[in-house]
Amino acid sequence: MDSQKTAQKSVCMWCHSHCGVLVHTQGGRLLKVTEDLQGPQPKLFAPQVKSCLRARAAVEWFYHPDRLHFPLKRVGAKGEGKWERVSWEQALDEIAGKLKDLKAKYGPETLATTVGTGRSHYEFRSRFMHLFGSPNQIGQGHICWGPQQVVCTALFGWATNPIVRSETKCVLAWGGGIPDYMPPAWRATLEAMKKGAKLISVDPRRVGAAERADIWLQLRPGTDTALAMGMINVIISEGLYDKEFVSRWCYGFDKLKERAAQYPLERVADITWVPADKIREAARMYATLKPAASFNGMGIEHLSNSIQALHARFILPAITGNLDVKGGDLLSGPHPGQVSAGEMELYERLSPGQWKKQLGSDRFRLMAWPGFNMIEPNVKRVWGKICGTINTSSFGHAPTVYRAMVTGKPYPVRALITTASNPMVTQGNTKLVYQALKSLDLYAVMDFWLTPSAQLADYVLPAASWLERPTIWDAWSVGRFVHACEAADFDLYRELGVRLGQGDEWPWKSLEEAYSYRLAALAPTFKDFITEKGGYDAAPGGYRRYEQTGFGTPTGKVELSSTIFEKLGYDSLPQYEEPCESPVSTPGLTADYPLVLTTGGRHNPFYHSEHRQITSLRKRHPYPLMQLHPDTAGPLGIVEGDWVWIETPRGRIKQRAKLFKGIDPRVVHAQHGWWFPEMPGAEPGLHGVWESNINVCTDDDPDHCNKLSGGWPLRALLCKVYKA
């Protein structure tokens, strides 16, 4: 037996920090995961391993008895929890056979896929779907990070990448983003603050950046567009904008000025609950301390008014001259040497007739095929490649797809493949997702565990983790870097593709071969890329490259007023709309549901719905927690630690009360991601998915989704709470 100890370079995929790590093994056994301090990229991917509970629990995770090792086929009724072990060949043959039949009966658009936040091989999933003929990929990118990418690409021709440096004088953190999302950016922010940089946080709760901020704007959830427009109004009316950049490089300034004038601070204060003086102070601080870097998180993306809020928030760095400057918000462009994920997707192979069938794309056009079609040629003109991938910019509309499964309208969606996602817990409106998954003719799930979603499947396939497979991490091909490691959702899509007549388009027999192809311009093989380049390559950058090329937009300028939004039939400028449910928009509901509900709120050691079965991690955070102000709890007779019902018009769930003075007494906050792997997996329990999962209470009614993108509102809803 080989008892040699080895340490292999890898990129940890358990969160978006994507630390460079060393995976230590002996005789094929995993010993531990440690930080890779010798990597060529320790600054950029500053490893967290020492302080990271998830990485420290790697061995426990890896050898957990519940991990799936073999394909399973349902033998009882759906959800009954009865499975038989089958071979890979049998599972793949049967799934491919059923897909062939369903395609013949209903057309290829009858197949949809779900994917979660990027940790798997999305480019191969897209490739398979485009060759199969379906435009109905749905995914969390629709409400996570995709919206900011698409808004930026429409306005600037590429997504911004805020890089805090010692030059940075001001950091704006809007609705999260740092510190939990990007620990390296947070560390850089704290460093810059030591040198005098100021921090502004926009958050309804005093957590994360808000705790350290020089100015904390504690807004009413869902009112971000009004707040940003108020700040723009101050910056324009006080002449604090970058006049040279605006006159030379911005399109639509006069229209913006007119629109912003509709947001006097008294009105904005009224809407947002933030005092006018504080808004003015923040606007002045942000506009005058340069360079400034600006981040945003899910606080602004999970709203019914999300795209408008992002539009307004991205106007701020544009009119203050903070785009593509050192210490500000970079437009990094792609890595030119790599075959990008977007290029692997073969989206041009899906015919216009099939793209037209993309569900929801007639109504929600921005983050679907019509919007992609308008954005793509301009971006390619300047950068040669698309920004990101189809998988972050052109989606089937998930709420419409789930409804099509249940009703057969506008056409039947009868098959679904889920890789790297857990829609029963993380998608809005769990009750509808449940009905939809139960109704399918074919549901296949690839995961490490039997999740509540997998429990409803016909086939469950075991996934290889980043510890066991090669990985390329390139930030969804938005950045100009490639980070590769040795460690197989790839195999699923390749094997199905081969069985369904796509063989010629899958010339690589393994993921490693496919990656060698993607990296061919950088090294002879994937392995060489690891050994010769240390697994990392960044293309040369630079600042203000638009001076040579113009911006990748229809006008070649920053489009403050978006010609793309206008051509798609939407308002070309941001306009505030009340959340779909709020004390103002639905006063009738307020009597029954008097509190504003916000959800999410990243917390360690968990990652969304993951890691609940890892005992050492669960011990640190055994129960779901909801926050409410002591002044709200008191009259309701709720004390710290009580189990509390949270109820919305869609349903109710329980979490334990955490009294918190950093939240407005009119607002409550609930964690997401909760299921209980220790509870029975069969119906009706499905591992306790109805107990504490806040998405039982969230909304995905298409009438409440964002008008441009179709994003569903996970935050800024109404609820009531009472002791359980």
Q: What is the binding site for ligand MGD (CB under 6 A)?
A: 15-16, 116-117, 119-120, 140, 144, 174-177, 180-181, 202-205, 207-208, 221-222, 224, 297-300, 302-303, 419-422, 425-426, 446-449, 451, 463, 489, 598-604, 606-610, 672-673, 694-695, 698, 714-716
Q: How many angstroms separate the CA atoms of 162 and 390, rounded?
A: 23
Under rule CB under 6 A, residue 49 binds ligand SF4: yes
C-alpha dihedral, 514 to 517 to 519 to 521, nearest 10°: 180
CB of 706 to ligand MGD, least distance (A): 13
Output the smallest distance, CB 382 to ligand MGD, in A.
28
Instruction: Look up tokens 């309804």; give the residue.
Output: 204
Residue closest to 148 by CA, chosen among 164, 159, 161? 159
41 binds ligand SF4 (CB under 6 A): no
In terms of phi and psi (left: phi > 0; alpha: psi -120 to 50; beta: otherwise), the region of 79 is left
Q: 14 or 186, CB closer to ligand SF4?
A: 14
Give Rg (Cα) of the chain: 24
For tokens 């993108």, the residue is 709
- Contact call for residue 117 and Mo ion (CB under 5 A): yes
Distance of closest approach, residue 119 Cβ to Mo ion, in angstroms: 11
The answer to whether 12 contacts ligand SF4 (rule: CB under 6 A) is yes
Q: Which is nearer to ligand SF4, 12 or 279 (CB)?
A: 12
Quote the least distance from Cβ 675 to ligand SF4, whole Å: 20
CB atoms under 10 Å from CB of 202, counted, come to 29
The piece of 121-129, 137-145, 563-571, 689-697 that touches Mo ion (CB under 5 A) is: 137-145
**Residue spans of alpha helices (H) in 443-586:** 489-499, 511-518, 526-533, 546-549, 563-567
DSSP 503: G
Of residues 212 and 533, the one with the C-beta less far from ligand MGD: 212
Confirm or reject binding of residue 48 to ligand SF4 (CB under 6 A). Answer: yes
Q: Which is nearer to ligand SF4, 17 or 332 (CB)?
A: 17
State the Cα–Cα distance between residues 465 and 483, nearest whole angstrom: 17
Q: Which amino acid is at 315?
A: I
Task: Using the minimum distance from each CB to ligand SF4, give the nearer residue, 186 or 546.
Answer: 186
299 binds, among ligand MGD, ligand SF4, Mo ion, none (CB under 5 to 8 A by kind): ligand MGD
Tokens 């890898």 sit on residue = 10
Task: Single out the segment in contact with ligand SF4 by CB under 6 A; choices: 51-59, 319-327, 359-367, 553-561.
Answer: 51-59
Distances (CA, A) of 720 to 70, 187, 383, 616: 44, 38, 50, 33
| Region from 52-60, 130-138, 298-306, 608-616 binding ligand SF4, contact rule CB under 6 A | 52-60
Is residue 14 near ligand SF4 by the rule CB under 6 A?
yes
Name which of Mo ion, ligand MGD, ligand SF4, none residue 12 binds, using a CB cut-off of 5 to 8 Å depending on partner kind: ligand SF4
DSSP-based three-state secondary structure for 509: coil
Options 102-110, 144-152, 203-211, 572-580: segment touching Mo ion (CB under 5 A): 144-152
Residue nearest to ligand MGD (CB): 116
User: What residues contact residue 160 under an 8 Å CB cut-off, 6+ apart?
Assistant: 152, 294, 314, 317, 323, 329, 330, 331
How does DSSP assign 367-430, residue by residue?
Answer: TSHHHHHHHHHHHHHHHSS-SS-GGGT----HHHHHHHHHH--SS---EEEEES--HHHHSS-H
- β-sheet bridge partners, residue 442: 415
**Residues numbered 100-139 forming contacts with ligand SF4, rule: CB under 6 A:** none
Beta bridge partners of residue 201, listed in sequence order? 173, 216
**CA–CA distance, 153 with 145 (Å, rounded to integer):** 12
Could you give the CA distance from residue 354 to residue 562 in angstroms, rounded to a whole number?
27
Tokens coding 144: 């996570």
- Residue 17, interface with ligand SF4 (CB under 6 A)? yes
**Residue 716 interaction partner, one of ligand MGD, Mo ion, ligand SF4, none, beta carbon < 5-8 Å per kind:** ligand MGD
**Residue 600 contact, options ligand SF4, Mo ion, ligand MGD, none, Cβ 5-8 Å cut-off depending on partner type:** ligand MGD
**Binding of ligand SF4 at residue 19 (CB under 6 A)?**
yes
Q: Is 387 in the site for ligand SF4 (CB under 6 A)?
A: no
Contacts of 181 (CB under 8 A, 6+ apart): 16, 297, 602
**Cα angle 535, 526, 38; round to 5:** 20
Instruction: Please say whether the dihedral angle defined by the alpha carbons of residues 49, 54, 58 and 62, taken in this order, is positive or negative.
Output: negative
- Residue 378 phi/psi, 5-degree rounding, is -70, -40
Report in angstroms how near the CB of residue 692 gets to Mo ion at its nearest.
20
Give the single-character DSSP code of 696: G
Bridge pairing between strands 198-202 and 170-174 = parallel
144 binds Mo ion (CB under 5 A): yes
Distance of closest approach, residue 37 Cβ to ligand SF4, in angstroms: 13
- Based on CB atoms, which residue is closest to ligand MGD, 357 or 612? 612
Shorter beta-carbon distance to ligand SF4: residue 355 or 473: 473
Evaluate the CA torsion angle 365, 368, 373, 379 in order and state its sign.
positive
Cβ 615 to ligand SF4 shortest distance, Å: 17
Number of residues that bind Mo ion (CB under 5 A): 2
* Residue 164 binds ligand SF4 (CB under 6 A): no
Q: Does 603 bind Mo ion (CB under 5 A)?
A: no
Which amino acid type is present at position 41?
Answer: Q
In angstroms, give the least distance from the CB of 39 to ligand SF4.
13
Number of residues lying near ligand SF4 (CB under 6 A): 12
Q: Which stretch binds ligand SF4 (CB under 6 A): 15-23, 68-76, 87-95, 526-534?
A: 15-23
CB of 445 to ligand MGD, least distance (A): 8
Helices and strands (DSSP H and E) totals, the chain: 28, 27
* Sign for the pseudo-dihedral over CA of 344, 441, 91, 456: positive
The residue with tokens 């440690």 is 34
- Pick between residue 21 and residue 514 the one whose CB is nearest to ligand SF4: 21
Applying CB under 5 A, the residues found at the interface with Mo ion are: 117, 144
Binding site for ligand SF4 (CB under 6 A): 12, 14-15, 17-19, 21, 48-49, 52, 54-55
